[in-house]
Chains A and B, each alone.
Chain A
Amino acid sequence: DADVTQTPRNRITKTGKRIMLECSQTKGHDRMYWYRQDPGLGLQLIYYSFDVKDINKGEISDGYSVSRQAQAKFSLSLESAIPNQTALYFCATSDLGTQYFGPGTRLTVL
């Protein structure tokens, strides 16, 4: 089984809808991250969390919110989706070393 899982893997939604992307990990890491990747670009950090009580904004947090329900779970919400939020979304975890990624969620906002 994968160490970092994301649900859903693909999602098509309409402008204005609320959507939640979920991430779970079995690696026992305290640190979790949400990134977005636009076609042909690198990764941009949306939010990160170093433990359940610690949530931090990344470089592109506007339009997004997160919830760290437990050490193993970190959810990303789009309160009112817009077309330019169409992207590939990655959850990642890390210890004091390497960062490990989930398989990604392809989100399309029509």
Chain B
Amino acid sequence: AQKITQTQPGMFVQEKEAVTLDCTYDTSDQSYGLFWYKQPSSGEMIFLIYQGSYDEQNATEGRYSLNFQKARKSANLVISASQLGDSAMYFCAMRGWNTGNQFYFGTGTSLTVIP
């Protein structure tokens, strides 16, 4: 069974500070991908970053980085130098390459950046 868990319903961070959003996963697949999406109040789902299970380096995309700890089955999103525009819902997702290729989403974390 595939499962994504995001245990932080809401987070606050001071502008210009870094913040870590937690994500743990469970999968029977040996090969899988992990994704983070941002959903601002306008509703669209914006792809942020991807990490493959066999990637040895942690993924980075600008101010976003993914802290991938395979043994712990965690894929935390780190946002550096938070900006007011980072206030949004953030969803972690997983895709198992050998188990139907469906995407599984967590319940999300609401991030609020404080000026």
Q: Which residues of A are in contact with B by a Cβ distance under 8 Å? A: 31, 33, 41-43, 45, 48, 50, 58, 88, 90, 92, 94, 97-101, 103-104, 106
Residues of B within 8 A of A41 (CB): 107-108
Task: Flag if A58 contacts B33 (CB, 8 Å).
Answer: no
Chain B interface mostly: strand
Residues of A within 8 A of B102 (CB): 45, 48, 58
Considering residues B35, B37, B103, which has the most beta carbons from chain A within 10 angstroms of its beta carbon? B103
With an 8 Å Cβ cutoff, the count of chain B residues facing the other chain is: 19
Residues of A within 8 A of B91 (CB): 42-43
- Chain A residue nearest in CB terms to B52: A97
- Knowing A43-B91, A104-B43, A106-B43, the reply to whether A50 touches B108 (Cβ < 8 A) is no
> Could you tell me the distance in whole angstroms from the C-beta of A99 to the nearest C-beta in chain B?
5
Task: Flag if A42 contacts B106 (CB, 8 Å).
Answer: yes
Task: Flag if B93 contacts A103 (CB, 8 Å).
Answer: no
> Could you tell me the distance in whole angstroms from the C-beta of A61 to the nearest C-beta in chain B?
13
